[in-house]
Homo-oligomer: A and B are copies of this chain.
Amino acid sequence: MSLDRLIEGIKTLKSPIVAGLDPKLEYIPDFIINQTQVGGVTTFESAAEAIFEFNRRLIDSLCGIVPAIKPQCAYYELYGWQGMRALKRTIDYAKQKGMFVVTDGKRNDIDSTMEAYAQAHLGVTSRLGEAFGGDALTVNGYLGSDGIRPLLRVCAECDKGIFILVKTSNKSSGELQDKRLETGETIFEAMGKMCRGWGKELPGKTGYTGVGAVVGATYPEQLTALRQELPETFFLVPGYGAQGGGAANVAGAFDPQGGGAIINSSRAIMCAWKKEGCDPEDFAGAAQREAQRMREEIFEFL
């Protein structure tokens, strides 16, 4: 009923890294696009097939190096229901390879509607089975407890976890999140405290609860401060690499034992083959090398 399985995976592989699978078609080598087209034409079906094939090879190559993937729902929804089918196939395949799946959907709603999202992404759909079957889901806490409690119930039943947006990695995150309340704390600090409170309902064996927080690598000071204030809250840290956060910036996300956080890299891993200039057939090898490099870089700072 927590993020324990993710934390165990990180320990086993000594790798606090999650590979973001945000498969834009432009990231996928031509040979995959071509082999999935029918009559030289890209369709919703062929694009979805290309996405799955790209992901499948990345998962094969990464599963010994990183413990988790984070598919971003937007890039699957972009290819319609066919894309959502590729999402389900990707999740199934990663779990089969022993990986932990963080579905990045930033879902939010209330009561029975939020329960539907919780069942769809983390639980089971009545007697039909898993609709998508991720291990954790990113969520937005703007609606308060009515938007979080239904998730906690499903997480407790199905041994799953959630990550709530606290301080996001983007430039304009401060427009709302940094506003100061009359109490003196910022909105993101208030959200962090709410995460900690909700987490008490999903205690974990590792000391970290099943309610994690999303905190961007691009705000290292806030990241370090939140690590102190939220000692039982596990962090999912986006913004490493392409968005500008380096290993020095994420060091503050970790506890003194080097635990408590997982760093996401999407574009740098998926597009490593372009940066390396290697044979496109070796794109998954390049992704593996980039994940290795990132792991070493992070360990230098821990």
A interface list, Cβ under 8 A from B: 22, 24-25, 42-44, 47, 72, 74-75, 77-85, 87-88, 106-114, 116-117, 119-121, 125-129, 131-132, 140-147, 165, 168-177, 179-182, 184, 187, 190-191, 194
Contact = CB atoms under 8 A, between A and B. Distances in A.
B175 A116 contact: no
B84 A80 contact: yes
A30 to B, nearest CB: 15
21 contacts: A47-B125, A72-B113, A75-B116, A77-B84, A79-B128, A80-B88, A80-B131, A81-B81, A81-B82, A83-B131, A106-B109, A140-B142, A142-B142, A142-B176, A143-B170, A143-B177, A144-B176, A144-B177, A146-B170, A146-B173, A147-B170
Nearest to A182: B180
A89 B146 CA distance: 30
Given A77-B121, A128-B44, A179-B181, A110 B170 contact: yes
A113 B176 contact: no
B108 A140 contact: yes
Nearest to A179: B181
A142 B287 CA distance: 32
Contacts of A112: 24
A273 B169 CA distance: 48
Contacts of A116: 24, 72, 74-75, 77-78
Contact of A113 (B22, B84, B120, B191): B22
Count of this chain's copies in the oligomeric assembly: 2
A141 B180 CA distance: 17
A60 to B, nearest CB: 23
Q: Give 7 nearest A-B pairs by CB, closest first.
A: A144-B175, A144-B172, A74-B116, A81-B85, A80-B131, A81-B84, A146-B170
Contact of A182 (B88, B181, B194): B181
A147 B75 CA distance: 15
Given A77-B121, A81-B82, A108-B108, 11 more contacts: A24-B112, A42-B128, A80-B131, A110-B168, A142-B165, A144-B175, A145-B172, A176-B190, A176-B191, A181-B182, A187-B187
B74 A128 contact: no
B74 A109 contact: yes
B74 A120 contact: yes
A77 B120 contact: yes
A75 B113 contact: yes
A83 B72 CA distance: 19
Contacts of A146: 170-173
Contact of A144 (B78, B173, B190): B173
